């Protein structure tokens, strides 16, 4: 069998569509939730309310024709959308989606492949069989298009034998389940009849899918991941029963080639060219639009409002392409007659799950949920007794960032005595044999930084976690962070901190011509820090070089992490590393079997990791590879707090 291109890379096929693409610009409409009604009467209501017909139709198709309220909400949220009156139609496609026992197997593969090997191109869209190419349909003809699908399903009732015979196929770049040829011809006839009905009822031209019908499992993955993915794919039992659903989806044609992001935190614009962010909204971003964005910012368009602007990069995360698609019709092709789901039903897909209680009553809830789940193997707080786990945590808030590089001159008198000048400065600091100037390159935590760390320890305690070993960068801020985590965890003095120089950050980031003069473990212990003074480092301080190359730093981090895990093997299940923002990436990427990123991408990832950023890894059974999993604790969000001088209240106009 020849290698086939995946079905999830649609392209426009008509000259007229090329004209449509020519007018695409970076703006966006919004969609909403599913529906179970036709929008003929709903359209009349919207028109009677005074909305122009073009806007009312656009609101209905963008919300899947749910109801008047959903359409009104969409119109009000898009009141400032500069493309609200743009006649550009949406783009549609017909998929078969699995449901029932088979989908649970596919869900498990989706989850394990993502955890084991990271995200590949197949994860952008849920498991499906493509029945036609993407096509456009004017807003006013969508109801007729949905009627065409319903009629086709009714005409085909009982004519498609089940289960569909599927055969696993793998190549160096593609893994999928192919429909047996004779059955594929039956499905293609079904799709051809739908195309005929669409022309007759909606005057819409649809080109049936011409390639072999298949469910794409993985493609565009690293060659080293093929054995793992192939092993996982062979565990799928394709003989299990499955209720295949014919689902009509739509997407905004202007953002077909954009990257989809999801808003994680709300953001209020500070300048006119910035975009307001609402948690849960989606953002469309094109690399070609980023020339106007400075470092740490991206330019994108909101799904929720249709507005475009700049937004902080660390407030969003990558989402799947299909997360913003709308459902317009859903029918079981196994049933003797179409279900009520066959009416004009629509709505957004979030993480592969239709967001409507009606669908939960029509379909087995396990069928459409969890197809592209978050990276989670077990519920937070439930420890694995057999698998090793690795937690990597960044240190807390540091003094020099909050109070500036010249904080030493504010806090030390000419005799080198420490005097704090702000409540967020610690009451005392450990003495240093080299004098207080050594704090210049090895700063302590703020009081709030210590509080942050203690909160993480308390959260670990509440989640009933265990920590068997703690390894730490030699930086004082990291050691203090580990100390306060153990305090909150109620393990201070019971679990000793192993100071490992090999965990120090990329030395290129250290200013000057020498590395920091770290406090020796014996002096740290004398300052009441729970440090293991008998520990012998894997990479001693003498092996660290100033301004090391990126490759050297990545290799050092990988080496020391492997040696730490090997050292703890069979002695305990859980290892905590407390180090730097860069450690969350450098200490976990290669143990997952992934290649290091280039230096530029690495820096972009590291810049997004906040104080006390926390990640978790788990050993992946027989493969010998580790995987990222959900951390056992909630994230810790914090913001800036500017200095306040009460004397400003005395200023008179």
Rounded CA gap, 137 and 62, in Å? 13
Rounded CA gap, 580 and 396, in Å? 9
Rounded CA gap, 278 and 571, in Å? 46
In Å, how far are 181, 184, 253, 403, 486 from 165, measured between CA atoms?
A: 9, 9, 34, 67, 55
Each residue of 182-192: pLDDT tens digit?
A: 999 999 999 99
Provide the pLDDT for residue 288: 79
pLDDT for 623 beyond 60: no
pLDDT for 378 beyond 60: no
> Please, what sign has the CA dihedral across residues 316, 319, 325, 327?
negative
Average pLDDT over residues 552-579: 93
Whole-number percent of the chain with pLDDT over 90: 55
Please compute, for residue 542, the number of CA atoms within 13 A of its CA located in the half-sphere on the CB side.
Answer: 1
pLDDT for 523 beyond 90: yes
User: Which of 230-234, 345-349, 474-478, 492-496 has the least mean pLDDT?
Assistant: 345-349
Where do the H-state alpha helices sit in 463-540?
476-488, 521-526
Rounded CA gap, 56 and 75, in Å? 8
Each residue of 443-452: pLDDT tens digit?
A: 999 999 999 9
Strands (E), 253-376: 259-263, 282-285, 297-302, 308-312, 316-318, 326-332, 349-350, 353-354
Average pLDDT over residues 391-408: 93
Average pLDDT over residues 29-45: 53
Provide the pLDDT for residue 653: 52
Phi then psi for 422, rounded to 5 degrees?
A: -155, 145
User: Which of 98-102, 115-119, 193-197, 373-377 has the least mean pLDDT?
Assistant: 373-377
**Between 285 and 18, where is the model more confident?**
285
CA 653 vs. chain centroid, Å, equals: 50
Rounded CA gap, 625 and 227, in Å? 12
Query: Model-level pTM?
Result: 0.52
CA 126 vs. chain centroid, Å, equals: 15
CA 246 vs. chain centroid, Å, equals: 28
Q: Tell the CATH topology of 259-323.
A: SH3 type barrels. (2.30.30)
Provide the pLDDT for residue 28: 35
**What is the pLDDT of the chain when averaged over all its residues?**
83
Task: Determine contact, residues 392/617, Cβ cutoff 8 Å.
Answer: yes
User: Residue 393 burial (CB < 10 Å; 0-12/13-18/19+)?
Assistant: buried
Rounded CA gap, 207 and 187, in Å? 14
Rounded CA gap, 262 and 285, in Å? 11
Domain positions in the chain: 44-78, 90-248, 259-323, 389-398+443-629
pLDDT for 131 beyond 90: yes
Rounded CA gap, 159 and 186, in Å? 9
Tokens for 325?
């698609």
Rounded CA gap, 134 and 198, in Å? 13
pLDDT-based confidence at 372, cuts 50/70/90? very low
Q: What is the CATH number of domain 389-398+443-629?
A: 3.40.50.1240
Each residue of 187-220: pLDDT tens digit?
A: 999 999 999 999 999 999 999 887 899 999 998 8
**Between 609 and 24, where is the model more confident?**
609
> Which residues lie below 8 Å from residue 95, measured CB to CB, with a gap of 6+?
128, 129, 130, 131, 246, 247, 249
Provide the pLDDT for residue 440: 92
pLDDT for 24 beyond 80: no
Rounded CA gap, 8 and 4, in Å? 12
Tokens for 192?
């051809």
**Between 637 and 282, where is the model more confident?**
282
Q: What is the CATH number of domain 90-248?
A: 3.90.1140.10
Active site positions, annotated: 394-395, 580
């Amino acid at each position: 069998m020849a290698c086939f291109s995946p079905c999830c890379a649609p392209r426009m096929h008509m000259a007229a569509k090329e004209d449509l693409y020519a007018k695409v610009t970076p703006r966006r409409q919004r969609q909403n939730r599913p529906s179970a009604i036709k929008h003929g009467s709903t359209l009349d209501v919207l028109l009677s309310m005074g909305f122009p017909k073009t806007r009312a139709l656009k609101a209905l198709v963008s919300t899947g024709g749910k109801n008047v309220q959903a359409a009104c909400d969409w119109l009000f949220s898009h009141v400032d959308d500069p493309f609200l009156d743009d006649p550009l139609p949406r783009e549609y496609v017909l998929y078969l989606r699995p449901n029932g026992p088979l989908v649970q197997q596919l869900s498990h593969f989706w989850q394990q492949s993502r955890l084991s090997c990271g995200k590949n191109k197949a994860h952008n869209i849920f498991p499906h069989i493509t029945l036609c190419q993407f096509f456009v349909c004017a807003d006013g003809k969508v109801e007729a298009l949905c009627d065409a699908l319903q009629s086709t399903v009714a005409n085909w009732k009982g004519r498609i034998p089940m289960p569909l015979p599927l055969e696993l196929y793998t190549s160096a770049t593609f893994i999928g389940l192919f429909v047996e040829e004779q059955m594929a011809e039956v499905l293609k006839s079904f799709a051809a009849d739908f195309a005929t009905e669409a022309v007759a009822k909606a005057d819409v031209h649809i080109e049936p899918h011409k390639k072999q019908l298949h469910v794409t499992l993985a493609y565009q993955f690293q060659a080293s991941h093929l054995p793992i993915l192939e092993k996982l794919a062979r565990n799928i039992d394709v003989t299990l029963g499955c209720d295949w659903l014919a689902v009509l989806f739509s997407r905004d044609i202007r953002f077909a080639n954009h990257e989809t992001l999801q808003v994680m935190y709300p953001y209020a614009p500070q300048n006119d060219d910035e975009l307001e962010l609402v948690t849960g909204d989606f953002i469309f971003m094109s690399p070609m639009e980023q020339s106007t964005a400075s470092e740490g910012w991206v330019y994108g368009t909101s799904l929720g409002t249709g507005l475009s602007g700049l937004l902080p990069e660390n407030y969003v995360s990558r989402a799947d392409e299909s997360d913003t698609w709308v459902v317009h019709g859903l029918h079981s092709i196994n049933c003797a007659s179409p279900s009520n789901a066959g009416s004009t039903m629509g709505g957004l897909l979030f993480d592969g799950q239709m967001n409507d209680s009606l669908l939960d009553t029509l379909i087995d809830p396990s069928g459409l949920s969890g197809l592209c789940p978050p990276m989670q193997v077990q519920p937070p707080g439930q420890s694995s007794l057999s698998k090793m786990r690795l937690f990597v945590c960044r240190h807390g808030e540091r003094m020099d960032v909050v109070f500036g590089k010249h904080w030493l001159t504010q806090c030390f008198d000419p005799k080198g005595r420490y005097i704090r000048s702000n409540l967020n400065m610690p009451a005392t600091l450990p003495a240093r044999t080299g004098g207080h100037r050594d704090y210049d390159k090895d700063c302590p935590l703020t009081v709030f930084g210590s509080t942050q760390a203690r909160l993480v320890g308390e959260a670990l305690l509440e989640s009933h976690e265990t920590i068997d070993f703690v390894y730490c960068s030699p930086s004082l801020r990291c050691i203090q962070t580990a100390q306060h985590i153990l305090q909150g965890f109620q393990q201070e003095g019971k679990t000793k901190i192993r100071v490992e120089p090999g965990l120090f950050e990329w030395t290129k980031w250290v200013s000057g011509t020498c590395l920091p003069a770290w406090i020796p473990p014996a002096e740290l212990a004398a300052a009441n820090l729970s440090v293991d003074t008998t520990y012998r480092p894997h990479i001693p301080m003498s092996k660290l070089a100033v301004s090391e190359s990126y490759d050297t730093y990545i290799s050092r981090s990988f080496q020391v992490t492997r040696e730490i895990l090997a050292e703890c093997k069979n002695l305990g299940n859980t290892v905590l590393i407390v180090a730097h923002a860069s450690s969350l990436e450098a200490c976990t990427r290669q143990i997952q079997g992934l290649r290091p990123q280039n230096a530029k991408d690495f820096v972009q990832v590291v810049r997004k990791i906040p104080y006390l950023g926390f990640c978790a890894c788990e050993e992946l059974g027989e493969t010998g590879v580790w995987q990222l999993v959900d951390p056992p604790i909630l994230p810790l969000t914090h913001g800036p707090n500017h200095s306040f001088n009460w004397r400003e209240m005395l200023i008179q106009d």
